[in-house]
Structure 1
Amino acid sequence: MKGLNLSVLGYFFDGLMQYFAEPVSRIFGPDDDNYPRTGVQPFDGDAYAETVETL
């Protein structure tokens, strides 16, 4: 094993750690969805007064 370059193992382990660290950080990190907080919306219309018959 003459000429074995140990820096290749370093790149391998760096890539392996990044491969597992990115999904873990997405799972346990803060939310990135920017949806507005709407809550309960008040009803502004008039109630339907007539009944509807179905066949």
Structure 2
Amino acid sequence: MTTFKRIQHQLRHIFIGLQQVIQYIAKAVTRIFAPTDDQYPGTGVQPFTGEPADKKQKY
């Protein structure tokens, strides 16, 4: 291998490594700022439907 081809080969590996790092970070940023994909029910605050106690007694 000539010196030029070695340098070209090393530069190619450096650029591929940089591209993989950028893709890794971009995927994380996309996941952080993407809409949630949770399947939780939208219950929210529930009103009280029972009867309040008249007096509290200590036993």
* Superposition TM-score tier, normalisation by shorter sequence: 0.5 to 0.7
The runs of at least 4 consecutive aligned structure 1 residues that moved more than 4 Å come to none
Q: Give the counterpart letter for 2:45 in structure 1.
A: V
Query: What is the root-mean-square deviation in Å for CA atoms of aligned residues?
Result: 2.4
**TM-score normalised by structure 1 residue count:** 0.63
How many residues align? The count is 54
State the percentage of identical aligned residues.
37
Gaps in structure 1 of 5+ consecutive residues: none
TM-score normalized with structure 2 length: 0.61
Gaps of 5+ in 2: none
More helix by share: 2
1:20 aligns with 2:48: no
